[in-house]
Structure 1
Amino acid sequence: MDVQQLRCFLAVAEELHFGRAAERLHLTPSPVSRAVRELERELGAELFVRRYHQVELTAGGTALVGRVRDILRQLDGLKEALDEASGTRVVRVGGTHLCPPAVMDRFLLVAEERFPAHQIAATMAPSAELLPALERGELDAALVHLPLDRSDLDALVVARYRFSAAMRADDPLATASELRLRDLTHRTLTVGPPSPQPLAMNRLHRRLRDAGITSFHEMPGHDAVMLASHVRLSHGLTLTLDPRNGGSARVFDDPAFAVVPLRDDLEFLLGVAWCRSRAGQDEVVRGLIQAVRQEWAAGTLTL
């Protein structure tokens, strides 16, 4: 067996979906399926029960998940061990590409001030890619959307989103000083796909449905320009942060659009996450988390 087979097995075990596992590994499903089949053949046991659009771990597969995760974590830690021995330990942090730039900049500054003699390497990616990287030991900490559903990860909430409704400037709701979710129940709401952080996005979508919004148009990706174009052409609505937060929300800082604050709290959170077991063993991870706690000791930001 080889490392790639183990990585493919663990990705499928965590995603329970060959397509999502392949996407996470930046591969197509065929080589992932082939690697898992080869591993099963070498071990002489089925690791997954494969059904139409459904994958489940067998008892044997379940027994291997923890051990394979530990093996990969140790392998991925070899370079880190060499860096530490040579005094060139790189502090590796990540951030969701959908968070406001000012929050990511603040997180990076915390890391730079805590470790002034170390190189800080930053990775921007969807939360769904950053979380497995934390588990594999490829990142020391990451700014991600919450909540988490991974037993070895912990997080500190650093920001809470306050959403607004974005629409055309000539929309009937554009003159309101604020809106409630109930004001949107007769409209179609354009939303992004859940893929960047399924747990957080699905919870948001469920909150919207619970408020009585039943008509949704799901965009294929989180492209802010395409989103704004769809809202403009369809006379639709979408959710956004205040454009003053920067980032993708700035696309609605345009006279063609109106951005009206929502009174309802949708409980969408941003936090710094880390691997709990590494925080107990790695001085860099432990020091980084201590610095994050000190930086946000006064409480969470409201964006």
Structure 2
Amino acid sequence: MELRTLRYFVAVAEELHFGRAAVRLHMSQPPLSRAIRQLETEIGAALFHRSAAGVTLTPAGTALLEEARTLLARADQVRVRVAAAAGSATLTVGILGDSTDPGARRLAAVHRRRHPGVEVRIRDTDLTDPTCGLRAGLVDIALTRAPFDETGLTVHELRADRVGAVLRADDPLARRDRLRLADLAGRRWFRFPDGTDPVWQSYWNGGAPREGPVVRAVQECLQAVLWNGTVGMAPLALGHEPPGELVVVPLSDMAPSPVVAAWNEGDPNPLIPSFVRIATAAYRA
């Protein structure tokens, strides 16, 4: 059994859906299905019950999942130890103002326990660069939010959060249970500086051109709302609760904001695969 095939199996076993697993693995579904069928042939047992309702693990699949996770974790440790022996056990991680996210805290704790010999350097970035310095070569991997221009990058989704409109507590719309983007037509929004990734800018402006103050950091966004009644958007997730003078009202017609790990396509850094695997588990806990 190849490690790559075991990674495919673990993705399907955790997602219990071939389509979602294929997206997670950045591949199409047919080769993934073929790889799993080949693995079942090699083992001589069915690993999944397949039905119109989805897939579930067989007893053989449940047994293999535990062993596969152990083998993959061991392979990651080998890569990291070799990197340390080569004097390259340093990983620079870009974080987009999400250091208070519980997922990030779990990731830090688990990564520290598993790889105590790896020095992790954190580069905190503002909202004007969703890749956290990745394209400029300032970081090895970014913990950030999509969508943004993914050209030349590999992007792995860790979680998706609903978003809402950030309003002052005395705003008439703040009393609503939910809003639509049309309810905010004509309002001033906070904007990012010229030159900011247009895909990123468009998402946080609700897909339409906006007028309002230019901001660069989360606190600047919140202060623009507090002082000027500006409208903006924020994730509906732990670690993103606004101050008491502000509220976040869910937006029913906005696509969720994905939390992602991103790195340069084809980067051979042996520390990245282990980091991504630990992050995947930490953000889904």
Q: 2:232 aligns with which of 207, 232, 238?
A: 238
Tell me, yes or no, if the aligned pair for 2:90 and 2:118 is still in contact at 8 Å. yes
Note the alpha carbon deviations across 1:43-88, whole angstroms, 9 max, x for none.
xxxxxxxxxxxxxxxxxxxxxxxxxxxxxxxxxxxxxxxx845656
The alignment status of 1:131 with 2:156, answered yes or no, reads: no
Tell me, yes or no, if the aligned pair for 1:128 and 1:198 is still in contact at 8 Å. no
1:182 deviates by: 1.8
Runs of 4 or more off by more than 6 Å in structure 1?
none
Secondary structure of the structure 1 residue equivalent to 2:143: strand
The alignment status of 1:201 with 2:200, answered yes or no, reads: yes
Note the alpha carbon deviations across 1:68-113, whole angstroms, 9 max, x for none.
xxxxxxxxxxxxxxx8456562232221125653233233234324
The alignment status of 1:227 with 2:226, answered yes or no, reads: no
2-structure distance, mates of 1:200, 1:183: 23
Q: Structure 1: which amino acid aligns with 2:272?
A: V
**1:78-157 correspondence runs (5 A):** 84-85=84-85, 87=87, 89-97=89-97, 100-126=100-126, 127-133=130-136, 136=137, 139-157=139-157
2-structure distance, mates of 1:85, 1:294: 27
Note the alpha carbon deviations across 1:163-196, whole angstroms, 9 max, x for none.
22222322221221111112212x4132230579
In 2 relative to 1, CA 139–129 (structure 1 residues): closer, same or farther, beyond 3 Å?
closer
Tell me, yes or no, if the aligned pair for 1:94 and 1:124 is still in contact at 8 Å. yes
Q: Structure 2: which amino acid aligns with 1:146?
A: A
In 2 relative to 1, CA 107–233 (structure 1 residues): closer, same or farther, beyond 3 Å?
same
2-structure distance, mates of 1:107, 1:113: 10
Q: Structure 2: which amino acid aligns with 1:237?
A: V
Q: Which residue of 2 aligns with 1:268?
A: 257
Q: Structure 1: which amino acid aligns with 2:189?
A: T
1-structure distance, mates of 2:248, 2:281: 34
2-structure distance, mates of 1:172, 1:148: 32
Q: Structure 2: which amino acid aligns with 1:155?
A: V
Tell me, yes or no, if the aligned pair for 2:94 and 2:123 is still in contact at 8 Å. yes
Tell me, yes or no, if the aligned pair for 1:114 and 1:291 is still in contact at 8 Å. no
Q: Which residue of 1 aligns with 2:64?
A: none
Secondary structure of the structure 2 residue equivalent to 1:92: strand
In 2 relative to 1, CA 215–132 (structure 1 residues): closer, same or farther, beyond 3 Å?
closer
1:157 deviates by: 0.8
Q: Which residue of 1 aligns with 2:52?
A: none
Q: Structure 1: which amino acid aligns with 2:238?
A: N
1:271 deviates by: 0.5
TM-score norm. by structure 1 comes to: 0.54
Tell me, yes or no, if the aligned pair for 1:194 and 1:202 is still in contact at 8 Å. no
The alignment status of 1:253 with 2:248, answered yes or no, reads: no
Tell me, yes or no, if the aligned pair for 1:95 and 1:130 is still in contact at 8 Å. no
Note the alpha carbon deviations across 1:107-148, whole angstroms, 9 max, x for none.
323432442232222221243442224xx3x53322122245
Q: Structure 1: which amino acid aligns with 2:224?
A: H
Secondary structure of the structure 2 residue equivalent to 1:97: coil
2-structure distance, mates of 1:284, 1:160: 24
Tell me, yes or no, if the aligned pair for 1:128 and 1:197 is still in contact at 8 Å. no
Q: Which residue of 2 aligns with 1:178?
A: 178
The alignment status of 1:289 with 2:276, answered yes or no, reads: yes
1-structure distance, mates of 2:281, 2:174: 41
Q: Which residue of 2 aligns with 1:218?
A: 213
- The alignment-based identity, stated in percent, is 20
**Structure 1 spans left out of the alignment, 5+ residues:** 1-82
In 2 relative to 1, CA 106–206 (structure 1 residues): closer, same or farther, beyond 3 Å?
same
Aligned length in residues: 201
- When the two chains are superposed, the root-mean-square deviation of aligned CA atoms in Å is 3.3
2-structure distance, mates of 1:261, 1:202: 19
* Structure with the larger helix share: 1
**1:15-34 correspondence runs (5 A):** none
TM-score norm. by structure 2 comes to: 0.57
1:154 deviates by: 0.4
